[in-house]
Amino acid sequence: MSADENKTNHEGASGGEGEANTSGLDFVRTIVTEDLASGKHDHVVTRFPPEPNGYLHVGHAKAICLDFGIAAEHADSRCHLRFDDTNPSTEETEYVEGIQDDISWLGFDWGEHLHFTSDYFHQLYGYAVTLIEKGKAFVDDQSADEIRANQGSLTEPGTESPFRTRTIAENLDLFTKMKAGEFDDGAKVLRAKIDMAAPVVAMRDPILYRIQKKTHHRTGDAWCIYPMYDFAHCLSDAIEGITHSLCTLEFVDHRPLYDWILDELETPAHPQQIEFARLNVSHMITSKRALRRVVEDGHVMGWDDPRMPTIVAMRRRGYPPQAIRDFCSAVGVAKRESLIELANLEFHVRQVLNKVAMRRMAVLRPLKVVIENYPEGEEELLDAVNSPEDPDAGTRPVPFSRELYIERDDFMEDPPKKFFRLAPGREVRLRYAYFVTCTEVVKDAAGEVVELRCTYDPATRGGNAPDGRKVKGTIHWVSAKHAIAAEVRHYETLFVDEEPNLDGDGGVFDAVNSESLEVINKAQLEPALGEAAVGEYLQLERTGYYCVDTDSSADRVVLNRTATLRDTWAKTAKKSAGNPPKAKNPNKKNKKKKKDSE
């Protein structure tokens, strides 16, 4: 018989549709599905509401996938992109454009529903006037400091403003003058009249409008008063007919205010705010403030540096949008705060790349090999498969000649037990080419191996021996004469800790991994790589997934390593060497409050 019971009881209201099957759905989709089944709504409208004051990051990707994803799952449903641009001092057109690019790239489409909270400034103003007329809002002359001081504490109630009892007429007059620009920034604010003793601080006469004589990136100087988030957001949702307004957990406390405003005013709709836990990924941060520090302090090349957790950066690094969507879908949606291991994201990146990346050969750290019984000056073209996952991708010719490069790591003078690659006297297969046997090791004065002399078996052309003999190892190679020199960039995580502590003495500086970028200057690529386009997904066989970086030009190839290949050899090698696991950065724990993390 309680009100609560009525609120949560959807079944009775159903038009005999039967119960919705919500098994396995996350809690947000469960609510949406039940609302549809009960007839509360016959379609769903969601919205993704970024503030254009920075670039989108992996955490936003989750929200985007949720907001747009849910809309796409139901008939006649849609998701709006609405820029929450109520603070002209931090927002810029550059970000408006960047955010649209990111969402499109991720694979979502808002159709005709590109909106701006600033489009509603006039309506919002009208709602504010209505609130004043109802005696539910007043103009406060207190300074910011005074308001803060009178707010009370978490355990003590606040005290009412001395201006709280102004007449409606006076409030109307003052608010009109605020809008007309008759007062300075901070001189006055419009506040809701709710309850200074409310246990939820957000309900203690929250500020609705403040004066900011700033030029807005869209409305210019038309306004000098701007609505606060709490006032603008719920009303914008209502104006757009949003059915389910999804946001992160820190807004739970704001829900009573969201509902209060919509209950006090006559609006076209009363959307339901639903909060879910934000996405955290190990070794990444999602605080815009800290991200800006990382960029401004020069720890990275920019917002799109492949080590950044931003969407532009993941794009430049070579993460396919499908992988990001798969990842978001795999981590789920719940209210429990969590820290997803980076390995999870990388898994989805590899999973997609394995299917789409063209295979190529490249030698990162070259060791010269001379095939002594291969005629000088001769060369030939061998066929190499472009993708074992996609027969339609065909083959390409790869030039072979007497002098080759192989990976230094693929040779050991004194190999351990399970090393299957080249060693003195040992025979291996050069991928797609021939079996070769190492006959001599050439060293320089310092004892460094500088060259290998080998012989090849002409009968093994293509990689198979007619006599059926097997080799244990297959290594990649590149013809020295035909190779293209390139720069290859390898990345480690930008932060050394799983959960970087940004509040320590050194802040971001102490948290960043100073060895997160490794530049390899003279990698040798097979000729086909000279034609790869910027952004193209590649797998350098046996070494990893790469893509052509935007820094590349006609005469310079730069590759980014997107992800390594799973490397079981590295594991067994490490195991037999008894290497201890990497030490972790000790300066963790004592996390302090993180703000500005949306």
425-454 residues in contact with RNA (CB under 7 A) are 429, 431-432
DSSP characters over 482-525 = T-EEEEEEEE--SBSSSS--TTSTTHHHHHB-TT-EEEEEEEEE
Is residue 25 involved in binding RNA (CB under 7 A)? Answer: yes
- Minimal distance, residue 224 CB to RNA, in Å: 11
Residue type for position 434: Y
Is residue 334 involved in binding RNA (CB under 7 A)? Answer: yes
Which one of residues 96, 196, 277, 520 is an interface residue with RNA (CB under 7 A)?
Answer: 277
Contact in structure between 82 and 117 (CB atoms under 8 Å): yes
Comparing CB distances to RNA, the nearer of 388 and 394 is 388
User: Which value, to the nearest 10 degrees, does the dihedral of the CA atoms of residues 243, 245, 246, 251 take?
Assistant: -150
Comparing CB distances to RNA, the nearer of 196 and 517 is 196
Comparing CB distances to RNA, the nearer of 305 and 543 is 543
In the annotation, is 288 catalytic? yes
The helix (run of H) or strand (run of E) holding residue 107 is none
Comparing CB distances to RNA, the nearer of 377 and 593 is 593
In the annotation, is 278 catalytic? yes
34, 51, 240, 598: which is the annotated catalytic residue?
51
| Residues of span 524-553 touching RNA by CB under 7 A | 539, 541-542
Pattern 348-367, binding to RNA, x per CB under 7 A? --xx--x----x--------
Helix (H, G, I), strand (E, B) or coil at 455: strand
- Minimal distance, residue 117 CB to RNA, in Å: 8
| Residues of span 111-140 touching RNA by CB under 7 A | none
Which one of residues 241, 399, 473, 507 is an interface residue with RNA (CB under 7 A)?
Answer: 473
- Minimal distance, residue 373 CB to RNA, in Å: 19
Is residue 226 involved in binding RNA (CB under 7 A)? Answer: yes
Structure tokens at 433: 């080419």
**Phi and psi at residue 574, in whole multiples of 5°?**
-65, -40
Please identify, among the stretches 119-127, 130-138, 207-215, 260-268, the one whose residues bind RNA according to the rule CB under 7 A. Answer: 207-215
Which one of residues 14, 30, 219, 437 is an interface residue with RNA (CB under 7 A)?
Answer: 30
78, 82, 166, 278: which is the annotated catalytic residue?
278
Comparing CB distances to RNA, the nearer of 281 and 496 is 281
| Residues of span 367-426 touching RNA by CB under 7 A | 387-389, 418-421
DSSP characters over 136-198 = -EEEE---HHHHHHTT--SSS-----TTTT--HHHHHHHHHHHHHT-S-TTS-EEEE-S-TT-
| Residues of span 304-333 touching RNA by CB under 7 A | 330-333
166, 210, 218, 288: which is the annotated catalytic residue?
288
| Residues of span 572-591 touching RNA by CB under 7 A | 572, 575, 591
Binding residues for RNA, total number by CB under 7 A? 99
Length of the chain: 598
| Residues of span 83-112 touching RNA by CB under 7 A | 84, 86-87, 90
Place of tokens 């050394």: 496
Is residue 228 involved in binding RNA (CB under 7 A)? Answer: yes
Pattern 31-70, binding to RNA, x per CB under 7 A? ------------------x-x-------------------
Which one of residues 168, 172, 196, 252 is an interface residue with RNA (CB under 7 A)?
Answer: 252
Which one of residues 2, 21, 514, 553 is an interface residue with RNA (CB under 7 A)?
Answer: 21
Helix (H, G, I), strand (E, B) or coil at 532: coil
Report strand pairing: 537-540 vs 544-548. Answer: antiparallel
CA angle in degrees (0–180, nearest 5) for 542-546-552: 135
Which one of residues 202, 393, 441, 484 is an interface residue with RNA (CB under 7 A)?
Answer: 202
Q: 152-179: b or e for each residue (b if 16 or more CB lie within 10 Å)?
A: eeeeeebeebebeebeeeebeebbeebb
Which one of residues 66, 71, 106, 189 is an interface residue with RNA (CB under 7 A)?
Answer: 189
Is residue 464 involved in binding RNA (CB under 7 A)? Answer: yes
Contact in structure between 243 and 271 (CB atoms under 8 Å): yes
Alpha-carbon gap, residue 337 to 100, rounded angstroms:
28
Strand arrangement, sheet containing 207-211: 137-140, 189-192, 207-211, 225-227
Is residue 24 involved in binding RNA (CB under 7 A)? Answer: yes
Cβ partners under 8 Å of residue 307, min gap 6: 300, 313, 317, 491, 492, 493, 494, 516, 517
The upper half-sphere exposure of residue 338, i.e. CA atoms within 13 Å in the direction of its Cβ, equals: 13
Catalytic residues, by residue number, are: 51, 278, 288
